[in-house]
Amino acid sequence: MPGLLDYVDFSQQSLWLAVAHILFNPSFGTQLQEQKVLTKLAGGNPYRGTYGLAITIFTLGITRDYLYHQALADQPTHPFFDQDMVKITAALLFITGNTLVLTSMWALGVTGTYLGDYFGILMKERVTGFPFNVCDNPMYIGSTCVFLATALWYQSVTGVLLTALVYVVYKIALTYEEPFTAMIYANKDKKN
């Protein structure tokens, strides 16, 4: 009887490209802004810097998603996932995940979604309405749900493993992002 890892083809270059992008993307924007690269390129204008970062992060996200899909296409499928309940679960995860991501983006706007706070652009107050009243990090949770939905839909053990990697990378990113966000809004409240 084959084990789960027998359904992962480690020789596929597409797998390693997906891994590289999953590891790279969350840290890229933060590192770029910490070095103040985009602010300098934007002539010191925080809005231009934020929109430049937004375009960069969005493009990297599209690239990551493409590479993820390519990795799944190049991998064997697992027969366990070939059942109606798995497809239904995948569809529900996809709808839930996209709802969390899209409503987060709507609530935060471009500058809130794409690290405007790193450029000094703060919202009037921290967003606490839907979907932030359902979970603390709806964009990351929603994105992880979409990755898992895709893995299940394509019957891919590799996709499930890559989803686990996405989850771990997001958790690491949050160890930096959450304290920073708490600090800047606490400082803002002190000034007011």
Reference 19, options 154, 184, 172, 164; nearest CA is: 164
Tell whether residue 95 is among the known ligand binding residues.
Answer: yes
Structure tokens at 82: 């070939």
- As a whole number of angstroms, the distance between CA 117 and CA 54 comes to 12
- Backbone φ, ψ for residue 155 (5° rounding): 55, 45
The CA distance from 67 to 2, in Å, is: 27
CA distances from 45 to 48, 146, 179 (A): 5, 34, 25
Instruction: Give the phi and the psi of residue 70 in degrees, each rounded to 5.
Output: -65, -40
Given a contact cutoff of 8 angstroms between Cβ atoms, the answer to whether 147 and 163 are in contact is yes
**Is 96 known to sit in a ligand binding site?**
yes
HEC-encoded secondary structure of 9-64: CCCCHHHHHHHHHHHHHHHHHHHHHHCCHHHHHCCCCHHHHHHHHHHHHHHHHHHH
Binding-site residues from annotation for S-adenosyl-L-methionine: 95-97, 177-178
Binding-site residues from annotation: 95-97, 177-178
